[in-house]
Amino acid sequence: MIAYILKRLLATIPAISVVAVLVFMLLRLTPGDPAAILAGDAASPEQIAQIRANLGLEEPLLVQFGIWLKQMALGDLGESFYFKIKVIDLIGQRLEPTLSLAALTIVIAVLVSVPLGVLAAWRFGGWFDRVLMGFSVMGFSVPVFVLAYILIWLLSVKLGWFPVQGYKRMADGFGPYIYHLILPAVTLSVIYIALIARITRASVLEALGEDYIRTARAKGLLESQVLVKHALANAAIPIVTVIGIGIALLIGGVVVTESVYAIPGLGRLTVDAVLARDFPTIQGVILFFSLVYVLVNLLVDLSYVFFDPRIRY
C-alpha cells in the first residue's frame, strides 16, 4: 500500500511541473514586455523597472524560471496592481465563498446522481433510464449561465423563494449562509449530476452483469442489498474517478456561477482580474486552481485504497 501511495505521490510531480512551466511561459510567449504587462497599464517606468529586476528579466530564460519557481514555492505570487494587495492574500480572502459553493455542489450532486444512476442501471432500457439519459444530455448542453438565469427568474423573481443574488459569510449565521448558497449550488450541480449519473449507470450496469450478482440474488438477498452492497460497491472506483475529473467542470462552472450570482469568490476574482488585465492575479488564480485540481485527483487515486482492497496488498 505504501508503495502505491508513494507511486501516486511521485506521479503528480510531472503534472505539477508542466503546469508550472506552462503558466511561466504564458507571460513570456506573449508579445510585449512581461514586466510592463505585469505592472498594468497605469504603472510608472520606475515600477516597471522594479518588477523587471524582481523577475530577473535580464537573465537567461532558465534562470528566470528558477527565480520564478522559488518565488512561487514560497507563496510569493506577486502583488495585484488592481486590488493593491498581495495575490496570495487576495486568494485567501476569496476562498470561503468558492469552497462553500463547491462543497455544497458536490454534496448535492453526489446525493442526487448516484441513486439516479443506480436506478437507471437497475431498470436498464426502461422509461426511467431513458428519461435520465435524456436529462443527462440536456445537462451537458444547457449552459450554466442560461440555467442560472432561468432558475433566478422562476424561483427568485416569480416565486420569491430565494434571493436573486448575493452571498452571506458563514460568520453572519448559518441560516442566511445556506439560504444564499442553495440556488447557485443547485445551478452548478446540474452538469455534475449529468456526468456522475451517466458513469454510475454505466459502471453499475457492468457490475450487474457479473456472476457474484447472480450468486447474491440466488442466495435470496434483498434486491436493495444486491444493488448497494454488491453492484454499487464494485462500481465505486469509476464513480469516484469521475467526481475527481469533474472538478475541472466545477472550476469552470464556479467562474460563471459566481459572476451571475454576484458571489465574491475566486471565480469572480478570475473574471475581474481578466477584465482589469491584472496578470499577477490571473497567474496566481490559474496556478491555484490547477494545483487544487491535481491534488483532488491525487486524493481520488489514494481513495482507491479504501474502495478496492486489492490495492492494499
Partner 1 sequence: MAQQDTSSLSVEAASVRPQQSAWQRMRASGSVRFGAIFLFILIFISVFAPWLGTVDPTLFDAASRDLLPGKFGEIMTLEGEVLKHQFLMGSDSFGRDIYSRVIYGTQVSLLVGLLTALASLALGIVFGLLSGYIRWVDSVVMRVMDGLMAIPSILIAIALVALWRGSITTVIIAITIPEGPRVTRLVRSLVLSIREEPYVEAAIAIGTPTWRIMLFHILPNTVAPLVVQGTYICAAAILVEAILSFLGVGLPPDIPTWGNIMAEGRPQFIQYPHNIFFPGIFLAITVLAVNILGDGLRDTLDPKMAKRL
In the complex, least distance from residue 238 CB atom to partner 1, rounded to whole angstroms: 7
Q: How far is the CB of 222 from partner 1 (least distance, A)?
A: 25
Closer residue to partner 1 (CB): 37 or 77: 37
Identify which of residues 152 and 216 has a Cβ nearer to partner 1 in the complex: 152
Q: Return the number of the residue (150 or 170) whose C-beta is nearest partner 1.
A: 150
Q: In the complex with partner 1, which residue's Cβ is closer, 103 or 222?
A: 103
Alpha-carbon gap, residue 171 to 177, rounded angstroms = 8
Sequential DSSP letters for the chain:
-HHHHHHHHHHHHHHHHHHHHHHHHHHHTSSS-HHHHHH-TT--HHHHHHHHHHHTTTS-HHHHHHHHHHHHHTT---B-TTT-SBHHHHHHHHHHHHHHHHHHHHHHHHHHHHHHHHHHHHTTTSHHHHHHHHHHHHHHHS-HHHHHHHHIIIIIIIS--S-SS----GGG-HHHHHHHHHHHHHHHHHHHHHHHHHHHHHHHHHHHTSHHHHHHHHTT--HHHIIIIIIIHHTHHHHHHHHHHTHHHHHHHHHHHHHHTT--SHHHHHHHHHHTT-HHHHHHHHHHHHHHHHHHHHHHHHHHHHH-GGGG-
CA angle 242, 285, 45 (to 5 degrees): 160
In angstroms, give the least distance from the CB of 224 to partner 1.
24
Smaller CB distance to partner 1: residue 177 or 241? 241
State the first-to-last Cα distance of the chain, in angstroms, to the nearest integer. 6
Name the grid cell of 279. 496578470
CB of 171 to partner 1, least distance (A): 29
Instruction: Name the residue nearer to partner 1 (CB basis): 142 or 178.
Output: 142
The residue (of 97 and 246) whose beta carbon lies closer to partner 1 is 246
Which residue's CB is nearer to partner 1, number 145 or number 177?
145
In the complex, minimum distance from the CB of residue 198 to partner 1, in angstroms, rounded to a whole number: 7
Rounded least distance, CB 173 to partner 1, Å: 26
**CB of residue 241 to partner 1, shortest distance in Å:** 9
**Nearest partner of 165 among 147, 183, 189, 187, judged by Cα:** 183
User: What is the nearest approach in angstroms of partner 1 to the Cβ of residue 220?
Assistant: 26
In the complex, the residues that contact partner 1 under the rule CB under 8 A are: 14-19, 21-23, 26-27, 30, 37, 137-138, 140-146, 149-150, 152-153, 157, 164, 198-199, 202-203, 206, 209, 238, 248-249, 251-252, 255-256, 259, 270-271, 274-275, 277, 282, 285-286, 289-290, 293-294
